[in-house]
Chains A and B, each alone.
Chain A
Amino acid sequence: MAGNNREHPYFTFLSSMKLGLLLLLLLGVLASLGSFLPQGQPAGFYRAYYGELPGRLIVLLSLDHLYRSWWFITLGAILAVNILTCSLRRVKKAPGRRGWGSIILHLSILVILAGAVISGVMGRHTYVEIGVGDSLDLAGRGFPGQVLTVKDFKIEYYENLQPRQYISSVSLKTADGQEIEQDIWVNRPLKFKGLKIYQTSYGWLARGQAVIDGKVVPFDLASGRGLDIDPGKNLKLMFFFIPDFDEQGGSLHSRSPLPNNPRLAVVLFQDHQVTARQVLAEKETKTVDGYPVTFSGYRYYTGLEIKKDPGVGIIYTGFILLLLGFALRYLVPDKHVPERAPHDS
């Protein structure tokens, strides 16, 4: 109350609306800059695209990862201090119900920012691809004690063959010996004690074997991958799974996403040039430029994002407080302040 005029001038500035406004607008301008400049590219990209000097400047000023740069985060931190000090000042002035609403509203922004920091520092996530029927020990991915098994994966289609939903049936074995079975689909992750698993991607795996220089080499690879035969000569055997092969057309494109006529296209690449190719039906063996290849089977793999982020709960709490603050600030009648209709001036 009376202490106001004995405040340190720095404190006065730090809690001032002037600084707050400056920061709100500055953060807006800087955030827009980051939306125009591609983020997270390698340094060479910026020099090639914007010219030597501008490219160097972009990297030097961290504009290539603007939202993570120390100065952007510092400005955010100063805004947080500004909101905090400004709110504390208002708490001292015995606010009415609406005033408390406003203070809760402002402090909730700090809760959200704190959650964001915790999310950035403590949040962990990883992406895994698991074939149907396979298990993966997540310990190797930073989630010790959990083993994830994919029992099934399927895609539901609309009549026009546009995907309706991607569904993975998984079972998760946890450190305390529990086993959780659940279907995961887009917009419906598995949630268990802070661990979340999301349906993110999918693809085909092709299984078989190739005989390379007299040695049998089994493979179980995602479509589009291959075996290095001779890295020195840049010789590579690549596998492409075609779910619905068009016999007449002869092209390697699939007629539909459904496995109606599954084939494996085996392509031999030398120095990125195609030198031979064969199309194999299931259980078939053909020789690709002297290398016998057998196609023995296919299945889906599912791409799952696994994450644990203690920040999210705090952020959601902040969201609820923010809405509560708004409700108190705008919807609750305040005895002290008369209602102001927009048409009286």
Chain B
Amino acid sequence: MESSFNLVAYILLLAAVTLSLISLWRPNKYTGTLALAALVLSFTSLTLALVLRSITGGRLPLATLYEFALLFAWGILLFYFISRKMIKSDLLMVLVALLEVIILSYSNTLSSGTRPLMPALQSIWLQFHVLTAIIAYGAFGLSFCLGLIYLLKEKGYDSIGESILPPLAKIDNLLHWSVAVGFPFMTLVLITGAVWAEEVWGRWWGWDPKETWALITWLIYAAYLHARKTYGWRGKRAAIMAIVGFLAVLFTLFGVSLLLPGAHSYV
């Protein structure tokens, strides 16, 4: 059951990519609306998959990399829907849908078994840790896509209509908003992680690669917020920093698990 909802979510995302691309190429009312509908249904399907997984596993799906990949995709979509209150851009929709497809494709290569929780993972702090990470990384995922469309617009694809690319200042403001929302939650990710590590291993910080990369992510976004506030670093440089910040997120989640050994190797 769960896997069929996953498959449906995946197919709908592919449909959203296709439809939103068509609507970029030949702007019209229908394909854009259809693409959005596909995204909403995909989100629903993903939610159902996660709910089913919780029921069959007898626990919240917060423990394996596969589970987190699904939650990550879920969080980014959530923030995309919120962003539509402020910006409607077809190009943004293409990028978000593409990012979702990439994350879900990657999740398919991970083992999806529902193993019971090993002792180290049986902690309320782990649950807070992952829940705050969904919000932080969802917001950062949105800011990444906004950073990309900012750079594209800057590069001179300026002649296209506003439905595709909103004005630069609008993108920049929404980008700042999403980083400013993500940052306190990223702080919570670090704090809950430290408290959990202290409870489980007796060390609140150990420079384990995953911890280190979460801290690096935090430092990059702190730099973004300060540069923007006190230097007025808006626009291009800020967009680049937001993109680099999200690359650090991706590396924390997937690169570290693959390349760098550490205590977190099970997540």
Contacts and interface: CB of A to CB of B under 8 A. Distances in A.
Contacts, number: 110
Interface in A320-335: 322-323, 326, 330
B204 A315 contact: yes
A28 B216 contact: yes
A298 interface: no
Contact of A21 (B199, B215, B226): B226
A34 B219 contact: no
A277 interface: no
Interface residues of A, number: 46
A35 B227 CA distance: 26
Contacts of B207: 34-35, 39, 67
A166 interface: yes
20 contacts: A17-B230, A21-B223, A21-B227, A21-B231, A25-B220, A31-B216, A32-B216, A35-B260, A39-B207, A164-B116, A185-B119, A187-B200, A189-B199, A198-B201, A305-B201, A316-B195, A322-B187, A323-B187, A326-B184, A345-B169
Interface of B: 86-87, 115-116, 118-120, 122-123, 167, 169-170, 173-174, 176-177, 180, 184, 187-188, 191, 194-195, 198-202, 204-205, 207, 209, 212-213, 215-216, 219-220, 222-223, 226-227, 230-231, 256, 260
Contacts of B184: 326, 330
A165 B122 contact: yes
Contacts of A305: 201-202
A115 to B, nearest CB: 9
Interface of A: 17, 20-21, 24-25, 27-28, 31-32, 34-36, 39, 67, 116, 119, 125, 158, 160, 162-166, 185-189, 196, 198, 200, 305, 307, 312, 315-316, 319, 322-323, 326, 330, 342-345
Given A186-B119, A342-B86, A343-B86, A326 B223 contact: no
